[in-house]
Amino acid sequence: MTQITYSSTKTINAEQLAALFTMSGIKRPIDDLARLQRMIDHADLIITAWDGPEIVGIARAITDFSYCCYLSDLAVHKEYQQNGIGKNLIKTVQEHISNEVVLILLASETAMNYYPNIGFKKIENGFKIPRVR
């Protein structure tokens, strides 16, 4: 593994995002490229991790940059996991939103043990209306 670089300005397309989601193991609508492109286009903040020209991680967030930020995606290519990339993506998100903004997320069952290790506190006061698809 070479030097990993992080960017808030490099653009990605739906095909790159689908490939990263596939290689990370995260469950997302990878066969719906139009939907993935909307996910990119309407995010308020996207931080990407790169190994040279290859995207190896992403943090995608919806935020008002003032009060709250929802971390909607955190994905790292399986071959790059457990190297601090996810933690660095979150740190970079926090640098962009400032310390007056709360960072929240919904974790998959497989990631429930990961987030407390990098500073997240479990909360019980949340609700959701599940998506149809």
Note the pLDDT tens digit of each residue in 112-131.
888 888 888 988 888 878 87
Class of domain 4-118: alpha beta
pTM of the shown model: 0.90
Read off the pLDDT of each residue in 19-40 and give the average, rounded to a whole number: 96
Read off the pLDDT of each residue in 99-115 and give the average, rounded to a whole number: 87
Domain boundaries, the chain: 4-118
Give the pLDDT of residue 81.
95
Give the tokens for residue 113: 């043990």
**In sequence order, what DSSP letters do the residues of the chain get, joined into one string?**
---EEEESS----HHHHHHHHHHHT----TT-HHHHHHHHHT-SEEEEEEETTEEEEEEEEEE-SSSEEEEEEEEE-GGGTTSSHHHHHHHHHHHHH-TTSEEE----GGGTTTGGGGT--------------
